[in-house]
Chains A and B, each alone.
Chain A
C-alpha cells in the first residue's frame, strides 16, 4: 500500500478533516481580502506606507518565518508518525508535537519583542493606517498561533491519529496565512 492511500480521505479526495479545509479556505479569504484592502489603501499614501514599513524589523520577521515553517515541518512529521499507530510512534508523535509547540512559542516570543519595541516607539494602532492593519492582522494571526499551540498540547496527550492530523492541518493553516501576510506587511 502506498503512503498516499494510507491517508484518510473525504469524498472530494481531500486528505484529513473536511471542516478543516472549510476553515483553511475561509481564513485565506479573510486574510487575503484584508491584505488586498491594505494594498489599495497604500495607493493613497505610498511614501507613508514605505516609511511605516521601514520601522519594522524585516530580518526578525524573516527569522520568525523560518521558525514557523520549521514548526509546521515537525507537525507534518507528527501527523505521519501518528498514522502508524504503534506505541513507539506515539512517543515520537508527542516529541514532534512538543517541538512544534516550542517553535510556536519562539515565534510568539519574537513577536512579543517586536510588539514591545513598536509600542515603546509610539507606533500604535493610530500612528498610521499602515500600523492599524499591521497590529490587527499580525495580532489576529498571533491569536491563531496561540490557539494552535493549545490544540497541539491537548492532542498530544492521547496522540490519536485523526486528532493529530486535524491539529496539524490547523497548524499548517497558520503557516499558510503567515506566508502570504509576511511579504505584504513586511517586505513589499
Chain B
C-alpha cells in the first residue's frame, strides 16, 4: 500500500474536508443573532463551505479531477443548489 504523505491528493482532500466541517460548525455556533445581515453572511459562508466540500468529494474521492467536463457540470449544479438555498435562506432572514 502507498505510504501516506502530505503530497497525496487524498490526504489533502481529507484534511480540507475535516477543516471545512469544523469551520462550518464553528460559524453556525458562534454567529451573532443580530443584525439579520450577519446571519445571512454566516449562511453564505456555511453554504460556501458545503459547496467546497462537495467539490472535494467529487474531485478527489470520486475521481472527477481528471474529467473536466463532468467536474464543471457537477460544480455548476451544486453551485446552483447552494445559490438557490442561500436566496431562500436570505429571504427568510429578511422576512
Contacts and interface: CB of A to CB of B under 8 A. Distances in A.
Interface size class of B (residues with CB under 8 A): 35 or more
A159 interface: no
A14 B66 CA distance: 9
A70 interface: yes
B67 to A, nearest CB: 5
A16 B1 CA distance: 20
Nearest to B80: A32
Interface residues of A, number: 50
Interface stretch (A33-41, A110-118, A127-135): A33-41
Contacts of A92: 1
Describe A's contact surface by its main secondary structure: helix
A175 B61 contact: yes
Interface stretch (A101-109, A147-155, A180-188): A180-188
Interface of A: 4, 7, 12-16, 24, 28, 32, 35-36, 39-40, 42-43, 46, 49, 58-59, 61-62, 65-66, 69-70, 72-73, 75-77, 80-81, 84, 88-89, 92, 168-169, 172, 175-176, 179-180, 182-184, 186-188
A13 B18 contact: no
